[in-house]
Amino acid sequence: MMNLVRLLSLVARIGADARDSSDIRLRKTILVTSSLILIFAGAIWGMLYSTFNEPIAGAIPLSYSFLSTISLLAFARVRNFPIFRFIQLLLILSLPFLLQITLGGFISSSAVVLWSLICPIGALVLADLRQAFRWFAIYLGLVATSGFLQTYTRASNNLPPEFVTLFFVLNISAISATAFCLIALFIAQKDSAYNLLRAEQEKSENLLLNILPKEIAHLLKNQGGTIADYYDQVSILFADIVDFTPLSAELSAREVVETLNEIFTQFDSLVDEYGVEKIETVGDEYMAACGVPRACPDHAHALARLALRMCAFVATRPARANRQLAIRIGIHSGPVVGGVIGRKKFAFELFGDTVNTANRMQSHGASGKIQISRATYELIKNDFICESRGPVTIKGKGTMETWFVVAKK
């Protein structure tokens, strides 16, 4: 078994190039292996014909073996796969035809021209469909020519009748086996390419779903054009790590990234758990929404539960640079406009006063607190304990009455 593996490894290195793709490497291995088998078969056939006093017929398969060996050695040296492939296909196409004419036609030669069928089938596996069609057309032309020349060839040869029958069996069996193997390889290549394509498509889909909500991704793939919609029942959450800018000045770049990655990765898990949509992260700020692009009757409740879990998680994190981590969260509810912006590095964005107000709830909030507007308070007050903060002056909004979410009732 080890010797076979070693032999196949040696065969695979013939004509190999470090720049070859996996597909080209496979095609080279198939052609080299097939050529070696056919060189051996040609030598056997040639000696058998010569044994029965058919020296010209014997010289043809022996010539095939010789020429094929020369082209194989040349390929091992210069590594020109297209030329090597062309020579091998030409040899297996033309020499069986010449052998059939020499032996006296279809019956007397045991239909040896069938070996030429390996040429177009091999082209399917080793080249492309266009080349395979060309080789197949030439093959049909040679078969038709054999039929036309049948009356001009000699009526018999020196081969015993039982030998002619034996060669019928050998030719049909060997050609059938070779054709089957080549077609099986072709199908395997096709299936492999399809599976790779499907895997890449799944990767692309997963990547797209990491960027966009699945409903928006579906529209982008199938609809195109401008994607925008109005959502009238939405809650928006902004979460910001308190004093992260001065903290980051005391941490290494790696520590900054590791800290944010740890926190935001947990936030991503919580977002999935509560059926909320992550919108974006900008620096140390995390934005999420509920009710967009899928309608959600309890959108404000979902974000309130999410916010409580976020605060609880950050509170358990160890101090960094002697600073205890804390988070500030703001939530507001109302209508928004959502859409995909740009053609490169696109993203699903939300627009409107609701977004601005939610951001102000966060920026004017307090460390470790979840500040909400009246709109959100009215939606969740029966299910959450909320502490009134009273009137608060909000930049760009004037005085607003706000509440802190304390806990679930």
Span 102-106, mean pLDDT? 88
Residue 28 token pair: 């080279």
Give the confidence band of 237 by pLDDT, cuts at 50, 70, 90. Answer: very high
CA torsion sign for 318, 319, 321, 326 is positive
Asked whether the predicted pLDDT for residue 111 surpasses 90, the reply is no
Asked if residue 157 and residue 224 are part of one domain, the reply reads no
Span 51-72, mean pLDDT? 92
Asked whether the predicted pLDDT for residue 141 surpasses 70, the reply is yes
Q: What is residue 120's predicted lDDT score, i.e. its pLDDT? A: 92
Span 53-78, mean pLDDT? 92
Asked if residue 278 and residue 200 are part of one domain, the reply reads no
Q: Range with the lowest mean pLDDT among 31-35, 112-116, 179-183, 290-294?
A: 179-183
Asked whether the predicted pLDDT for residue 365 surpasses 70, the reply is yes
Q: What is residue 342's predicted lDDT score, i.e. its pLDDT? A: 67
Angle between helices 22-51 and 2-13 (to 10 degrees): 100
Cα–Cα distance between 124 and 134 in angstroms, integer? 11
Of the chain, the percentage scoring pLDDT greater than 70 comes to 89
Q: What is residue 345's predicted lDDT score, i.e. its pLDDT? A: 62
Asked if residue 137 and residue 26 are part of one domain, the reply reads yes
Number of neighbouring beta carbons within 10 Å of residue 279: 22
Give the confidence band of 11 by pLDDT, cuts at 50, 70, 90. Answer: low
Cα–Cα distance between 202 and 193 in angstroms, integer? 14
Write the CA distances from 41 to 69, 92, 188, integer angstroms: 12, 12, 25
Asked if residue 197 and residue 59 are part of one domain, the reply reads yes
The DSSP string of 246-259 is HHHHTS-HHHHHHH
Give the confidence band of 383 by pLDDT, cuts at 50, 70, 90. Answer: very high
Q: What is residue 219's predicted lDDT score, i.e. its pLDDT? A: 58
Q: What is residue 61's predicted lDDT score, i.e. its pLDDT? A: 92
Asked if residue 7 and residue 24 are part of one domain, the reply reads yes
Phi, psi of 287 (to 5 degrees): -120, 135
Asked whether the predicted pLDDT for residue 17 surpasses 80, the reply is no
Where b means 16+ CB within 10 Å and e means fewer, 108-137 reads: bbbbbbbbbbbbbbbbbbbbeeebbeebbe
Q: What residues pair up with 154 in beta bridges, in sequence order? A: none
Q: Range with the lowest mean pLDDT among 151-155, 250-254, 281-285, 300-304?
A: 151-155
Asked if residue 299 and residue 340 are part of one domain, the reply reads yes
69 vs 347, higher pLDDT: 69
**Of the residues 206, 232, 259, the one at which a domain ends:** 206
> Which residues, at least 6 apart from 80, have a Cβ–Cβ distance to it below 8 Å?
none
Asked if residue 197 and residue 263 are part of one domain, the reply reads no
**Of the residues 206, 228, 246, the one at which a domain ends:** 206
Supply the CATH number for residue 269's domain. 3.30.70.1230
Asked if residue 342 and residue 313 are part of one domain, the reply reads yes
Question: Mean pLDDT, the chain, as a whole number?
Answer: 86
Give the confidence band of 198 by pLDDT, cuts at 50, 70, 90. Answer: confident
Q: How many domains does the chain have?
A: 2
Asked if residue 162 and residue 60 are part of one domain, the reply reads yes
Q: What is residue 136's predicted lDDT score, i.e. its pLDDT? A: 95
β pairing state of 370-372 and 327-341: parallel
Q: Range with the lowest mean pLDDT among 225-229, 236-240, 353-357?
A: 225-229
Write the CA distances from 405 to 17, 206, 299, 335, 379, integer angstroms: 66, 35, 15, 21, 12
Asked whether the predicted pLDDT for residue 288 surpasses 50, the reply is yes
Span 263-270, mean pLDDT? 93
Vertex 342 angle, CA 340 and 343, to 5° = 110
Cα–Cα distance between 166 and 141 in angstroms, integer? 27
Asked if residue 375 and residue 255 are part of one domain, the reply reads yes
Cα–Cα distance between 14 and 12 in angstroms, integer? 6
Domain coverage including residue 44: 2-206
**Of the residues 175, 206, 237, the one at which a domain ends:** 206
Q: What is residue 59's predicted lDDT score, i.e. its pLDDT? A: 94
Span 15-29, mean pLDDT? 79
Span 95-119, mean pLDDT? 89
Span 225-231, mean pLDDT? 74
Give the confidence band of 2 by pLDDT, cuts at 50, 70, 90. Answer: very low
Q: What is residue 135's predicted lDDT score, i.e. its pLDDT? A: 95
Asked if residue 247 and residue 174 are part of one domain, the reply reads no
Cα–Cα distance between 341 and 350 in angstroms, integer? 10
Q: What is residue 274's predicted lDDT score, i.e. its pLDDT? A: 92
Asked if residue 229 and residue 159 are part of one domain, the reply reads no
SS (H, E, C) 308-319: HHHHHHHHCCCC
